[in-house]
């Protein structure tokens, strides 16, 4: 949408500027009328024209980690007011369309024939005579004039001829066209410029028609001046005294030759060409990359391949058996008599390899290979902020910039996918070059089964699974979380037990005041009813209380006064924890009770 609005506005302004510089002061008024309509249509079409097609091979873009990572705080479930600015702009635009639509309908409604109007005829058109009309105007098949001025003969016939010319040439259709565009594109100021220039050209056309009918130029100009003092601005109609009288007088005397008109018209062509090139659409075609694998022949007759893991052993070279040892990371060779032989000086190349079990496979069997190092991070160009963890089968979020800082070049980028013998292999690239991986993320060599070319296509990951529930989140991160019921800190077991009893609603997962990730369970009255009653405190157990009072380890205060053992027996069986307060004074437990006794 931004491409269309910006480029169509550029086209619209450029074509309006061409009109002002080349066409406005000419007498080719009919050509200018159709130029306006064509300019609006062309400005709407050019942004959709595909003028350039760019073919690019698919290459790896931004990458994302597919291995296990810590859940980031962006997984936190938070509630709060957020603004969807696209909806705000859509609402603002809709209000503008509504207001401009009401304005358009009101203007049409004002032009209806009212019961108080007197209807007459002028030529083949209706002449609507009504009060409060300052200047004659016209719309569709009607001419509107003041009933008082018309009956008193104050309206010259040239004025009515001028309005008749508007109706003859159907200028109202142009006005309706531009007004409907303004309703839809009310925010574009260029449409208002076009409307003004279009209506001014309508006046040039009507003036030209009146003068062609034999009316004297001087007489007509005097009539025009007489009406110029009145002002009545209407959006949908053509009025006799449209502003810029001096401009109209100048154009009345202007005559543009055919040669001049053609030169000015032809100048529009290069402008249109430039607009198409600069404002047209560029299409980007992404083609799958064809990877050509070229085998480099190795002169095996002059190569000695040794396992990189072996420290010593035997090897046969040109039919002769040699023993070898690795000394200071360099192989030394000995013949059967124990004499050291410098095979490298004889033109042999020592190649260190890792031995891989090689066996024949069926045509439809998956090729196996070498496991990649655990330090590697496999990433794929799906979205910079999205990571899919294959090991734990869950979606997390991360920053690709932080990922690169953490692992540097130790990253394998999966960009495309290849299919061989019915099995899919990932085509990837790391800092050492390009390689293929099977579904177990083992590096495999597909050169032996290809004809030199392997077609690969864009790699697409499966969609992420649904987000974790609060209990799943707690279970995955229980060691790193702090737990609260309302504002009271609780243990992991207490939080999980409360969630299982009351449900997984009204749970906030967010950093606490100390910046640590926390789980806060919001307790409602309905939730509290689902919880079991708390255990009875020890001091409400009467025998324990009486025993402590007798040995002096407990002091009981009832409503602020020291109580006796007899009063202690009167404590209610249905206790309320809020009625008790317990504290220590000089090694003695002081229990204060402020409720009612039995």
For the entire predicted model, the pTM comes to 0.47
Helices (H), 47-169: 85-110, 147-151, 157-168
C-alpha span between 478 and 471 (Å, rounded): 10
C-alpha span between 94 and 14 (Å, rounded): 28
Asked whether 276 and 446 are in contact (CB, 8 A), the reply is: no
How far CA 450 is from CA of 235, 300, 361, 370, in Å, comes to: 74, 22, 15, 19
Give the strands of the sheet with 488-490, arranged side by side.
488-490, 482-485, 517-521, 507-511
C-alpha span between 429 and 381 (Å, rounded): 12
Which is it for strands 423-430 and 411-420: parallel, antiparallel or unpaired?
A: antiparallel
Kindly report the length of the chain: 598
Give the strands of the sheet with 580-585, arranged side by side.
561-562, 554-558, 588-593, 580-585
How far CA 492 is from CA of 15, 48, 466, 480, 513, in Å, comes to: 71, 60, 24, 11, 19
C-alpha span between 140 and 163 (Å, rounded): 11
Q: What stretches of 494-551 adopt beta strand conformation (E)?
A: 507-511, 517-521
Which of 330, 456, 398 is closest to 65 using CA atoms?
A: 398
Asked whether 164 and 143 are in contact (CB, 8 A), the reply is: yes
Q: What is the pLDDT of residue 345?
A: 82
With b for 16 or more beta-carbon neighbours within 10 A and e for fewer, the 451-466 pattern comes to eeebebeebeeeeeee
C-alpha span between 29 and 264 (Å, rounded): 13
Q: What is the pLDDT of residue 270?
A: 92
How far CA 396 is from CA of 76, 114, 159, 388, in Å, comes to: 11, 69, 76, 6
- In the structure encoding, which two tokens stand for residue 150, read together? 């018309």
With b for 16 or more beta-carbon neighbours within 10 A and e for fewer, the 299-328 pattern comes to eeeeebebeeeeeeeebebeeeebebebee
Q: What is the pLDDT of residue 98?
A: 94
In DSSP terms, which residues pair with 312 in a beta bridge? 325
In DSSP terms, which residues pair with 119 in a beta bridge? 128
Dihedral sign of CA atoms 88, 93, 94, 100 in order: positive
Q: What is the pLDDT of residue 177?
A: 92
Residue with tokens 């060691």: 479
Q: Which residues of the chain fall short of a pLDDT of 70? A: 53-82, 228-243, 284-302, 307-309, 352-365, 372-415, 429-434, 446-467, 533-541, 573-578, 598
- Phi–psi pair at 459, nearest 5 degrees: -90, 125
Report which secondary-structure segment, H or E, holds 400. Answer: helix 400-407
| Residues contacting residue 40 through CB under 8 Å, at least 6 positions apart | 12, 177, 178, 181, 194
Asked whether 438 and 425 are in contact (CB, 8 A), the reply is: yes
- Phi–psi pair at 497, nearest 5 degrees: -60, -45
In DSSP terms, which residues pair with 371 in a beta bridge? 442
In DSSP terms, which residues pair with 121 in a beta bridge? 126
C-alpha span between 379 and 458 (Å, rounded): 14
- In the structure encoding, which two tokens stand for residue 558, read together? 């009832």
Q: What stretches of 391-532 adopt beta strand conformation (E)?
A: 394-397, 411-420, 423-430, 433-437, 442-444, 453-458, 482-485, 488-490, 507-511, 517-521
Report which secondary-structure segment, H or E, holds 274. Answer: helix 268-279
C-alpha span between 95 and 394 (Å, rounded): 43
| Residues contacting residue 91 through CB under 8 Å, at least 6 positions apart | none
- In the structure encoding, which two tokens stand for residue 531, read together? 């919880």
């Amino acid at each position: 949408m931004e491409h269309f609005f910006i480029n169509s506005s550029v086209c619209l302004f450029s074509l309006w500027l061409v009109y002002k510089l080349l066409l406005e002061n000419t007498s080719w008024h009919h050509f200018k009328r159709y130029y306006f309509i064509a300019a609006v249509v062309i400005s709407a079409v050019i942004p959709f024209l595909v003028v350039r097609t760019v073919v690019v091979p698919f290459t790896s873009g931004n990458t994302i980690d597919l291995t296990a990572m810590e859940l980031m705080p962006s997984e936190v479930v938070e509630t709060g007011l957020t603004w969807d600015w696209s909806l705000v702009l859509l609402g603002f635009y809709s209000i503008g369309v509504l207001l401009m639509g009401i304005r358009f309908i009101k203007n049409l409604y004002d032009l209806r024939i009212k019961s108080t109007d007197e209807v007459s005829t002028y030529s083949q058109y209706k002449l609507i005579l009504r009060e409060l009309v300052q200047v004659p105007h016209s719309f569709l098949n009607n001419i509107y004039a003041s009933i008082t001025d018309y009956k008193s003969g104050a309206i010259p016939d040239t004025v009515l001829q001028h309005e008749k010319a508007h109706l003859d040439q159907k200028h109202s259709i142009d006005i309706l066209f531009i007004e409907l565009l303004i309703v839809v594109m009310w925010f574009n100021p260029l449409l208002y410029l076009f409307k003004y220039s279009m209506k001014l050209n309508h006046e040039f056309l009507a003036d030209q028609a009146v003068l062609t009918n034999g009316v004297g130029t001087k007489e007509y100009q005097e009539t025009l001046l007489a009406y110029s003092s009145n002002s009545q601005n209407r959006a949908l109609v053509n009025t006799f005294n449209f502003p810029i009288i001096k401009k109209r007088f100048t154009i009345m005397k202007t005559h543009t030759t055919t040669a001049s008109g053609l030169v000015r018209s032809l100048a529009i062509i290069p402008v249109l060409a430039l607009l198409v090139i600069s404002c047209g659409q560029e299409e980007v075609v992404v083609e799958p990359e064809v990877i050509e694998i070229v085998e480099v022949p190795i002169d095996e007759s002059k190569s000695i391949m040794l396992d990189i893991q072996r420290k010593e052993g035997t090897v046969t070279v040109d039919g002769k058996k040699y023993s070898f040892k690795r000394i200071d990371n360099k192989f030394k060779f000995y013949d059967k008599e124990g004499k050291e032989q410098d095979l490298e000086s004889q033109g042999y190349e020592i190649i260190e390899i890792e031995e891989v079990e090689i066996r024949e496979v069926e045509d439809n069997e998956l090729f196996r290979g070498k496991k990649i190092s655990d330090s590697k991070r496999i990433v794929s160009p799906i979205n910079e902020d999205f990571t899919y963890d294959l090991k734990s089968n869950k979606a997390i979020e991360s920053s690709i910039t932080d990922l690169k800082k953490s692992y540097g070049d130790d990253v394998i980028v999966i960009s495309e996918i290849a299919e061989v013998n019915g099995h899919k292999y990932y085509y990837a690239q790391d800092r050492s070059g390009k390689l293929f991986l099977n579904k177990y993320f083992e590096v495999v060599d597909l050169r032996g089964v290809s004809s030199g070319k392997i077609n690969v296509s864009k790699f697409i990951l499966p969609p992420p699974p649904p987000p974790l529930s609060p209990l799943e989140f707690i279970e995955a991160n229980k060691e790193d979380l702090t737990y609260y019921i309302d504002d009271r800190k609780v243990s992991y077991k207490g939080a999980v037990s409360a969630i299982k009893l009351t449900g997984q609603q009204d749970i906030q997962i967010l950093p606490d005041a100390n910046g640590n990730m926390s789980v806060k369970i919001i307790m409602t009255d309905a939730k509290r009813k689902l919880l079991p009653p708390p255990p009875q405190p020890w001091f409400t157990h009467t025998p324990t209380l009486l025993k402590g009072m007798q040995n002096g380890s407990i002091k009981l205060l009832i409503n602020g006064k020291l109580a006796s053992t007899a009063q202690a027996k009167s404590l209610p069986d249905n206790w309320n924890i809020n009625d008790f307060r317990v504290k220590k004074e000089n090694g003695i437990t002081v229990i204060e009770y402020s409720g009612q006794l039995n």
